[in-house]
């Protein structure tokens, strides 16, 4: 029951905001609903037992003839992504407070609608439901980006939309295939786990799902929609995309790919690892010379996500746990970075690093918070980024030493592009444009301080977070090994 509240509260909020809110009350309503949702999520967390079981399950028959059920539930892995969604959404809404969006009620309703879609994805235990959530999360973000975005928004979003839809069609084919193979004639995840498919079948299913997930994350070379989309989207859209939505792909791999087709994963993991690690280095190198800070962060995100993917495909405890922590940490850090850039953009009208400089002198609060977020991004020990990256790099190193060493270049390259852009934006003397910059205030402080606090708390004491998903990850690995070794 609690879980239904969790999923439908944002939906109710979306409808209420769309219908009843006015231009000036829409953000307040949306913020209130997102905070309620966060409260519900925290309530669930308090009742959650950190073992491998699926909790708060709800299972209703939906379309009996097709074997489709409204089946949702939460285990440790879902819990992390639910927290991610519900912690970030209020922050994203609050971060948009200084902007006046046209048709604000529609804008905020779409954000809440998307939240509901995301929560459905992260809790669905029925493949059809998962697919509905997957597409339901895409629709609002498409409208957010295409309606409130910047220059070229229609063209850029068309590409984004067609690309991701094309990916998910492959996944739909995969789901239908699994459904047809399923003697129980339903879309239940638990039944899919039991399927005995030969390795050719598994290979096909693997690629059908993987392409959808790889486009969403995105993994090299499926990433070219991402920098344009991130750059043209309105900032809340960019934050939703980078902070939460891309984790759908990661979550999908963990929940729907690894345990369903472990042989497919095993057969193709070397290819994926290679692509992921190439992406880590390639995107980091591209980030070096970006003039537009938003685009730089977009490429850095590809680099970081590549490492998460690589860690997952090591099929190791450290890799998976690292990916769980890093999903959350990356979400926190990346919306922090985009928010800082939004503050700069909205005050000065530019994100071009060459036009900026000296902001630290006039805006010390921004300088400090930006620096802390940056340190999280470059994975300094004591920040959230370190916990995830350390575990991920260690797992990749254990998978293959040289691959680990190449992926490890991220800690050097990350420092290069982040500190370069920090220097160009914040350090040096102010110029005519930046001299009258006003330091952060009001809601900006609330958002940035919260993000900084999360970065440090998770970095210093990650134990509770690691514990949430530990048993579920362990269970998942046992499940996979069980299927791989074929012992019953």
Give the footprint of other proteins on this chain (CB under 8 A).
62-65, 132, 135, 139, 142, 146, 157-159, 161-163, 165, 221, 223-225, 282, 285-290, 316-318, 321-322, 358, 360-361, 375, 380-382, 387, 390-391, 393-394, 397-398, 401, 404-405, 408-409, 411-412, 415-416, 419-420, 423, 426-429, 461-463, 466, 470, 474
Least gap, CB of 143 to other proteins (angstroms): 8
Closer residue to other proteins (CB): 190 or 412: 412
Cβ at position 317, least distance to other proteins in Å: 3
DSSP code per residue over 402-444: HHHHHHHHHHHHHHHHHHHHHHHHHSS---TTTTTPPPP-THH
Q: Cβ of residue 334: shortest distance to other proteins, in angstroms?
A: 20
Contact 320, 311 (CB under 8 A): yes
Encoded tokens for 260? 């369903």
- Judged by beta carbon, residue 162 or residue 484, the one nearer other proteins is 162
Q: Minimum Å distance from CB 477 to other proteins?
A: 9
As beta bridge partners, residue 55 has 74
Tell me the Cα Rg of the chain: 21
Residue 16 or 371 having the CB closest to other proteins:
371
Which residues share a beta bridge with 72?
58, 124
Cα–Cα distance, 335 to 238 (Å, whole number): 8
CA distance 474 to 326: 17
Smallest gap from residue 88 Cβ to other proteins (A): 23
- Output the smallest distance, CB 319 to other proteins, in A: 10
**What minimum distance in Å lies between the beta carbon of 98 and other proteins?**
25
Min. distance of Cβ 366 from other proteins in angstroms? 14
Tokens of 147: 């309606």
Task: Considering the complex, state which of residue 197 and residue 212 has its C-beta at the smaller distance from other proteins.
Answer: 212
- Output 36 or 397, the one with its CB closest to other proteins: 397
Identify the sign of the CA torsion 143, 145, 147, 153.
negative
Which phi and psi (to 5°) does residue 437 adopt?
-60, 135
Give CA–CA dist 104/112, Å, rounded. 12
- Smallest gap from Cβ 427 to other proteins, in A, equals 4
Shortest separation between residue 22's beta carbon and other proteins, angstroms:
25
**Nearer Cβ to other proteins, position 48 or 399?**
399
Q: Which is nearer to other proteins, 82 or 146 (CB)?
A: 146
CB-nearer residue toward other proteins: 174 or 218: 218
Closest CA to 452 of 316, 335, 297: 335
Q: Considering only CA atoms, which of 303, 336, 335, 306 is closest in space to residue 323?
A: 306
DSSP for 132-163, please give it.
HHHHHHHHHHHHHHHHH--TTHHHHHHHHHHH
Closest CB to other proteins among residues 45, 409: 409
User: From the CB of 428, what's the least distance to other proteins, in Å?
Assistant: 4
Is the Cβ of residue 39 or residue 66 nearer to other proteins in the bound state?
66
Q: Which residue has the tokens 């973000």?
A: 141
Q: Give, as one character, the DSSP assignment of residue 381.
A: B
Among 98, 118, 103, 122, residue whose Cα is nearest residue 34: 118
- Nearest C-alpha neighbor of 89 from the set 49, 119, 127: 119
Of the two residues 352 and 361, which places its CB atom closer to other proteins in the complex?
361
Nearer to other proteins, 203 or 428 (CB): 428
> Residue 375 and residue 368: Cα distance in Å, rounded?
11
End-to-end alpha-carbon separation of the chain, Å? 35
CB of 258 to other proteins, least distance (A): 16
Question: What secondary structure does DSSP assign to 23-61, as a single string?
Answer: TTTHHHHHHHHHHHHHHHHHHHHHH---SSS-EEEEEEE
């Amino acid at each position: 029951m609690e879980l239904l509240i969790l999923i439908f509260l944002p939906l109710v909020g979306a409808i209420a905001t769309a219908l009843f809110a006015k231009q000036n009350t829409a953000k307040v309503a949306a913020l209130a609903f997102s905070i309620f949702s966060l409260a519900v999520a925290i309530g669930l967390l308090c009742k959650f037992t950190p073992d491998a079981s699926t909790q708060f399950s709800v299972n209703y028959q939906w379309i009996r003839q097709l074997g489709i059920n409204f089946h949702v539930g939460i285990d440790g892995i879902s819990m992390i992504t639910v927290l991610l969604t519900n912690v970030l959404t209020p922050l994203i809404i609050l971060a948009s407070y200084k902007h006046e969006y046209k048709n604000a009620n529609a804008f905020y309703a779409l954000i809440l609608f998307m939240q509901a879609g995301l929560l459905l994805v992260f809790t669905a235990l029925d493949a059809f439901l998962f697919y509905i959530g997957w597409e339901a999360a895409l629709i609002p973000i498409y409208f957010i980006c295409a309606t409130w975005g910047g220059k070229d928004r229609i063209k850029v979003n068309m590409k984004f939309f067609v690309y991701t839809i094309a990916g998910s069609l492959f996944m739909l084919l995969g789901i239908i295939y699994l459904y047809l193979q399923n003697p129980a004639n339903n879309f239940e995840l638990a039944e899919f786990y039991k399927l005995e498919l030969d390795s050719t079948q598994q290979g096909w299913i693997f690629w059908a799902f993987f392409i959808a997930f790889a486009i969403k994350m995105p993994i090299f070379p499926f990433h070219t929609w991402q920098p344009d989309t991130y750059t043209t989207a309105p900032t809340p859209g960019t934050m939703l995309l980078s902070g939460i939505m891309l984790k759908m792909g990661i979550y999908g791999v963990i929940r729907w790919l690894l345990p369903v087709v472990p042989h497919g994963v095993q057969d193709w993991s070397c290819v994926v690892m290679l692509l992921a690690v190439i992406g880590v280095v390639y995107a980091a190198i591209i980030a070096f010379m970006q003039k537009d800070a938003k685009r730089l962060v977009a490429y850095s995100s590809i680099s970081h996500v590549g490492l998460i993917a690589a860690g997952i495909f090591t099929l190791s405890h450290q890799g998976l746990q690292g990916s769980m922590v890093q999903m959350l940490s990356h979400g926190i850090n990346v919306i922090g970075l985009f928010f800082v850039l939004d503050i700069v953009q909205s005050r000065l009208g530019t994100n071009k690093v060459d036009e900026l400089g000296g902001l630290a002198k006039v805006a010390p609060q921004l300088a400090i918070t930006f620096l802390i977020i940056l340190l999280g991004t470059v994975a300094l020990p004591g920040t959230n980024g370190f916990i995830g990256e350390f575990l991920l790099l260690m797992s990749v190193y254990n998978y293959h030493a040289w691959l680990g060493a190449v992926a490890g270049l991220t800690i050097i390259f990350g420092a290069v592009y982040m500190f370069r852009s920090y220097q160009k934006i914040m350090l040096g003397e102010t110029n005519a444009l930046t001299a009258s910059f006003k330091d952060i205030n009001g809601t900006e402080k609330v958002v940035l301080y919260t993000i900084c606090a999360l970065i440090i708390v998770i970095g210093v004491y990650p134990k509770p977070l690691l514990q949430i998903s530990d048993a579920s990850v362990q269970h998942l690995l046992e499940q996979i090994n069980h299927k791989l070794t074929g012992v019953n």
